Amino acid sequence: MRLSNALLARLALALSLLLPAAAPQEKPKDEELPPSIQVDVDVVNILASVRDKRGGLVGNLGKDDFTVIEDGKPQTIKYFARETDLPLTIGLLVDVSRSQERLLDVERRAASQFFSEVLRKKDMAFLISFGEEAELLQDYTNSPKFLEAGLNQLRINSGATGIHPGPVPTMTQPRGTVLFDAVYLAAQEKLRREVGRKVIVLITDGVDQGSRVKVAEAIEAAQKSDAVIYGIYYFDPGAYGGGFFIHPSDADLRKMAEQTGGQVFKVDRKHPLEEAFKELQEEMRSQYAIGYVPTNDTKDGSFRRVELRVKDKQLKVQARKGYYAIKRG
């Protein structure tokens, strides 16, 4: 299902109204970027993580250890790099719906520490909160202090009882947690024109209520933006009757992560949020950047399925499932 022009316009307007008055810091120039992530309309870029059978990250593989298959046909790898210093753009999206109220203080502290440790000179980040609406709290910056100031603005934005017009005049649509809208906006409006590695990090209980776009449309926007989605599944058991028998599903969160090459980190008493952020940081700094020119060079907008394989069958590859063959520029 494709979004109508009117819906696209509304979503673009919604985010444009949220932009802060202060000008964002200057982005790194394209010529400063390594060749493996230069803008090239003919190159398909893949970020991949590889794990052994115990779940440990494997970071010592070479170009010849990988094979790329697109729609069943082998492809020739043109670019290859073991990621250590490739520029990174991070969009942190934080759930501020009512069910997350008692978790915000922990999220602020852990996210602030994460940014202070992960951001390097050429890296950039932005911060969006989402509840009843999505709000841009900090535009592009590589300053942990600016991001911490944005995190301090996190406030519960709950409107589960709010009523908005539905697709026909007699219908209503409650809005409480616009998770899919937030992902769509981050990918379409913030990341689509960026170069390099692009990551969306979601801190949420995985519940969506009232988004105007569907989960498939959020995934499509991320895939078209070459963005990898990582989910941090974090929920308050007290908001779900104690959490013993009823808890929110992380199915949509996992679907978004798996289709874009990311994964979901679950937070609980034995695995605190700080540990999840450490694991995320380790993964982002242990990726392989792979680029190839597809043998099918037709830019018809169709979805091309991609499979990345490694020679060692005991290793598991985590990478995007495909891309849209659209003309970039």
Q: pLDDT: is 65 or 174 the higher one?
A: 65
Element (H, E) at 274: helix 273-284
Token pair, residue 275, equals 């540990």
Mean pLDDT of the region 254-273? 96
Is the Cα dihedral 179, 183, 189, 191 positive or negative? positive
Q: Which pLDDT does position 329 carry in this prediction?
A: 58
The domain limits of the chain are: 85-282
* pLDDT exceeds cutoff 90 at 72: yes
Q: How many CB atoms sit inside 10 A of residue 284's CB?
A: 22
- Report whether pLDDT(156) > 70: yes
pTM above 0.75, yes or no: yes
The average pLDDT across 99-106 equals 94
163 pLDDT tier (thresholds 50, 70, 90): very low
Q: What is the pLDDT of residues 190-206, one digit of tens each?
A: 999 998 899 999 999 99
Is the pLDDT confidence value at 53 over 90? yes
**Average confidence (pLDDT) over 41-54:** 90
Angle between helices 251-260 and 215-224 (to 10 degrees): 20
Mean pLDDT of the chain: 84
| Each residue's pLDDT tens digit, 108-121 | 999 999 999 999 88
What's the rounded Cα separation, in Å, for the pair 86 and 77? 18
Which one has a higher pLDDT value, 170 or 237? Answer: 237
* Crossing angle for the helix pair 273-284 and 104-118, to the nearest 10 degrees: 30
What CATH code is assigned to 85-282? 3.40.50.410
> pLDDT band at 245, cuts 50/70/90?
low
For residue 1, pLDDT over 80 is answered with: no
- HSE of 18 in the Cβ direction (CA atoms, 13 Å)? 23
Query: Is the pLDDT score of 325 beyond 50?
Result: yes
Q: What is the pLDDT of residue 167?
A: 32
- What is the reported pLDDT for 306? 97
The answer to whether residues 302 and 322 touch, using CB atoms and an 8 Å cutoff, is no
Residues 104-112: contacts with CB within 8 Å, 24+ apart? 104/154, 104/156, 106/273, 107/151, 107/154, 107/203, 107/234, 107/273, 108/151, 108/152, 108/154, 110/273, 110/274, 110/277, 111/147, 111/151, 111/203, 111/277, 112/144, 112/147, 112/148, 112/151
Q: Which tens digits make up the pLDDT trace of 278-319?
A: 999 999 888 999 999 999 999 999 999 999 999 999 999 999
Output the CA torsion 16→46→121→286 (10° steps).
Answer: 130
Q: What is the mean pLDDT of residues 103-107?
A: 95
- Residue 242 contacts by C-beta under 8 Å, 6 or more apart in sequence? none
Checking if the pLDDT of 174 tops 70, the result is no
Instruction: Quote the pLDDT of residue 285.
Output: 84
Bigger pLDDT: 249 vs 85:
249
The yes-or-no verdict on residue 171 having pLDDT over 60 is: no
- Evaluate if residue 159 carries a pLDDT over 70: no
